[in-house]
Amino acid sequence: MLSSQIPLPDTEWGATEFEARALRTLLGHYPTGVAIVATRTADGRNVGLTINSFASLSLEPPLVLWSLVNHSPNLPAFRDCAYFTISILGCEHQELALRFANPRVENKFRDIPVQETPEGVPSIGGAIATLVCANHQQTHLGDHLLMIGHVKRIASIEGKPLVFHSGMFTVLHDVREI
């Protein structure tokens, strides 16, 4: 049978009207890694936040993407920066992930291992992978600003990633080889 001939199920197939909260819960079924995106403002202030919207986009040229909610106080900083870093967190970095997701923390970078890249932007020391990106392109889409970075520098160390799934942090378990 051709795929075009597969009959549609005669039961109702999914909800066509749903609230944003329901969509958010459903999207939580898709596990992601956790990263901290960071940059430095023109007046020398380090800014950063926890994200899970990070994704690879292209290998040649090397492009990655992430999205920033429109009401973020850090939107001008990221929109106008020349470079930003993406620090992919290890499973022991849960506290860091919570700190960088908390808008009430005044200086998120205080007393943590911050590294300065040759481009003059901060990255998180001990991250299992770090990408330094030129601020390549941005597009306002819906309630987020889509940020596309051109990867200029990469570094990584051994470590297991921190994972976000269904609103919770979790870790990967080794699968026994058969």
Ligand X SMILES: Cc1cc2nc3c(=O)[nH]c(=O)nc-3n(C[C@H](O)[C@H](O)[C@H](O)COP(=O)(O)O)c2cc1C
Q: How far is the CB of 17 from ligand X (least distance, A)?
A: 26
Indicate whether 146 belongs to the interface with ligand X (CB under 6 A): no
What one-character-per-residue DSSP string does 81-103 give? -SEEEEEEPBTT-HHHHHHTT-T
- Return d(Cα 150, Cα 153) in angstroms, integer: 9
- Taking CB under 6 A as the binding criterion, the range among 72-80, 123-131, 132-140, 152-160 that sits at the site for ligand X is 72-80
Note the Cα 14 to chain centre separation in Å. Answer: 29
Q: Which is nearer to ligand X, 101 or 129 (CB)?
A: 101
Indicate whether 84 belongs to the interface with ligand X (CB under 6 A): no
Indicate whether 50 belongs to the interface with ligand X (CB under 6 A): yes
Q: Which is nearer to ligand X, 15 or 137 (CB)?
A: 137
Which of 33, 39, 40, 51 touches ligand X by CB under 6 A? 51
- Is 136 in contact with 149 (CB distance < 8 Å)? yes
Indicate whether 31 belongs to the interface with ligand X (CB under 6 A): no
At 160 the three-state DSSP class reads coil
Q: Which is nearer to ligand X, 15 or 24 (CB)?
A: 24
Q: What's the farthest any 2 CA atoms get from each other in the chain?
A: 64
Q: Which is nearer to ligand X, 15 or 69 (CB)?
A: 69
- Return d(Cα 108, Cα 99) in angstroms, integer: 7
